[in-house]
Amino acid sequence: MTTPLRVLLIEDSENDAELLLLELRRGGYAPEYERVETHEGLEDALARQSWDIIISDYAMPRFNGLQALKLAQEKGGDIPFIIISGSIGEDVAVEAMKAGAHDYLMKGKLARLLPAIARELREARMRQERRQADETIHRLAYIDAVTGLPNRVRFHELVQEAVVAAQREQRPIALLLMDLDRFKDVNDTLGHIRGDSLLQQVGLRLRSALFAPDVVARIGGDEFGILLARLAASDDVQKVIQKIHDCLEVPFTIDGIPIVVETSIGVATMPEHADDADTLLQRADIAMYRAKQMASDYTVYAPELNLHSPERLGLMAELRDAIEQNQLVLHFQPKLELKTGRIVGNEALVRWQHPRLGMVPPDQFILAAEQTGLIAPLTRWVLIDALSHCQGAGREGIRLRVSVNLSARSLHDPHLPKMIADALAATGAAPNQLMLEVTESAIVLEPKRAEENLMTLSRMGTLLSIDDFGTGYTSLSSIKRLPINEIKIDKSFVTNMLTDKKDAMIVRTVIDFGHNFGLTVVAEGVETKEVLDALTDLGCDVAQGYFISKPLPSELLKSWFSTTPWKLPRG
């Protein structure tokens, strides 16, 4: 039985080489060998094939063992390297071992060769196995199995390293977090295998669109992380985002099915938004959530978006209890019909009566409630309280419709129609007493799901209003298709319409637009009599705002009813 052995001999003497080979054959090896004696020869042999062991002479006319060792380490990796010399002194031997030779032998003592080779081969095999195990562990721990890209853990490390390097070299870096919109639909309708295949293709396109030093990672289900560590200036981010959009624009084809991928990208840059990796990641995440919420292509972080401050996180922990313990209160803001001077409804606006912080406005907890899964219980609470109030006023002879705001999450929740039906049943209110306000951007976020819910609700008999109209991206076709009753011109246009020509034009256009579609047009944010008059002249149907009344808690609304000069829908 002979063992094949690929031996690279670095030896100027043909005779010495023969002796070595003889010894190897005696030990049961079948050497497949090559003899080289120069730098070039060695380099060439290392490049051509892999070797089990290198046995090198120490002193040769044009080369020596240490130079050979260095080259082998550079080009050959971790091949066992044994130096054999007729003249090697103890000092040189020590130097060779220090430089990384695995063993050294004297030419006259070749008996030691076979045990040395056996040992070195065994150890090389062990090193190899350990390396493979390390690689497997590394792969499992750091590489996403679906796309082959770095995973979340690795991405964090890379961001950390990039932050340190960028700070040292005083360069900017940018972090992009990208989420695929409606990826869940792909998974649900086409199955996980096709979903995975889509993720792979997205990964490939991103990888080929970006430069090699840019990191592309898959950091969650449908989330990709992109690290731009070689930016000339923070402004260059725009160009990269454009490239990303361009590369994803062509529909993907999965098993012949064309799939359009839309994304929401959140951007945070250093030094502008953060000076450490965690903050940078967290802020890009906040920006991404906002981009998704606003259905915009990308959002750059801004401090106003930061709902994750420690105080806010604390608040979120308390919100669940707050809902159960009735710390939420509704304020109601009356809506005035301009043609008749009659109050025709009111809008329920939620507040949190916090035991320590006092009255917390909705802007400070609605978005975070959406992110933490508390929006469903919150919406349920608001619906029941608003409808009970509506019924209470009805019993006192004032029949008012109540408007309730729905957040994007609620709008896309398949349980929404049932939640509303239950609230109507629990309070005994009629469906047409309830008007639901949704924003344009919430619809655009997932139009199909929004549409299904809104159609069901319309069949149930509730009414629908598009809130903050003019700030989103409503397409004419969705206005035509959806069962809309009312649009509310956003207060940012209304409040300044007398001083800002553009705002005035938008208000006029929206009023005409709404009327062309047979919709009731409401102006919100009416703060003065002058604006109210101007809106009346323009033919606006309904006004809401501080000039008529601020949002009021229900007891104050009752006294407002008894003193207001406006007509009330009694009966």
Torsion of CA 517, 518, 523, 528, to 10 degrees: 130
Q: How far is the CB of 277 from ligand C2E (least distance, A)?
A: 33
Q: 10 phi and psi, to 5 degrees?
A: -110, 105
**Residue of 187, 264, 405, 549 that binds Mg ion (CB under 5 A):** 405
Q: How far is the CB of 347 from Mg ion (least distance, A)?
A: 6
**Residue of 31, 76, 362, 417 that binds ligand C2E (CB under 6 A):** 362
Nearer to ligand C2E, 153 or 329 (CB): 329
> What residues between 423 and 452 interact with ligand C2E by CB under 6 A?
437
Give which of Mg ion, ligand C2E, none residue 450 binds (C-beta under 5 to 8 Å, depending on kind): none
- Cα radius of gyration (the chain): 37
Q: How many residues does the chain have?
A: 571
Of 201-209, 249-257, 279-287, 399-407, the segment contacting ligand C2E by CB under 6 A is 399-407
C-alpha to C-alpha distance for 408 and 293, rounded to whole angstroms: 7
Q: How far is the CB of 544 from ligand C2E (least distance, A)?
A: 6
Phi-psi region of 359 (alpha: psi -120 to 50; beta: other; left: phi over 0): beta
Long-range Cβ contact pairs of 525-530 (< 8 A, separation 24 or more): 525/490, 525/491, 525/492, 525/494, 525/495, 526/494, 526/495, 527/495, 528/498, 530/498
Block residue for tokens 């062990």: 126
Nearer to ligand C2E, 62 or 550 (CB): 550
Residue 407 within binding range of ligand C2E, rule CB under 6 A: yes
Closest C-alpha among 268, 265, 304 to residue 284 = 268
Nearer to ligand C2E, 350 or 416 (CB): 350
Residue 382 within binding range of ligand C2E, rule CB under 6 A: yes
Nearer to ligand C2E, 180 or 367 (CB): 367
User: For the chain, what percentages of helix, strand and coil (3-state, to nearest 5) are there?
Assistant: 50, 25, 25
Q: How far is the CB of 266 from ligand C2E (least distance, A)?
A: 21
Residue 523 within binding range of ligand C2E, rule CB under 6 A: no
**Residue of 56, 263, 333, 465 that binds ligand C2E (CB under 6 A):** 333
Helix (H, G, I), strand (E, B) or coil at 365: coil
Q: How far is the CB of 526 from Mg ion (least distance, A)?
A: 12
Give which of ligand C2E, Mg ion, none residue 478 binds (C-beta under 5 to 8 Å, depending on kind): none
Give which of ligand C2E, Mg ion, none residue 362 binds (C-beta under 5 to 8 Å, depending on kind): ligand C2E
> What residues between 463 and 482 interact with Mg ion by CB under 5 A?
467-468
Residue 486 within binding range of ligand C2E, rule CB under 6 A: no
- The residue type found at 41 is G
Of 122-130, 153-161, 430-438, 476-484, the segment contacting Mg ion by CB under 5 A is 430-438
Q: How far is the CB of 435 from Mg ion (least distance, A)?
A: 10
> What residues between 513 and 542 interact with Mg ion by CB under 5 A?
524
Number of residues that bind Mg ion (CB under 5 A): 5
The DSSP annotation for 202-224 comes to: HHHHHHHHS-TTSEEEEEETTEE
Q: How far is the CB of 551 from ligand C2E (least distance, A)?
A: 5
Measured on CA atoms in the order 186, 284, 152, 174, is the torsion positive or negative? positive
Q: Is 122 exposed, middle or buried (0-12, 13-18, 19+ CB in 10 A)?
A: exposed
Asked whether 84 and 55 are in contact (CB, 8 A), the reply is yes
The DSSP annotation for 417-468 comes to: HHHHHHHHHHHT--GGGEEEEEEHHHHHHSHHHHHHHHHHHHHHT-EEEEEE
Name the residue with the smallest CB distance to ligand C2E. Answer: 545
C-alpha to C-alpha distance for 60 and 45, rounded to whole angstroms: 18
What does the binding site for ligand C2E look like in residue numbers (CB under 6 A)? Answer: 333, 349-350, 361-363, 366, 382, 405-407, 437, 467-468, 491, 524-527, 545-546, 551
What does the binding site for Mg ion look like in residue numbers (CB under 5 A)? Answer: 405, 437, 467-468, 524
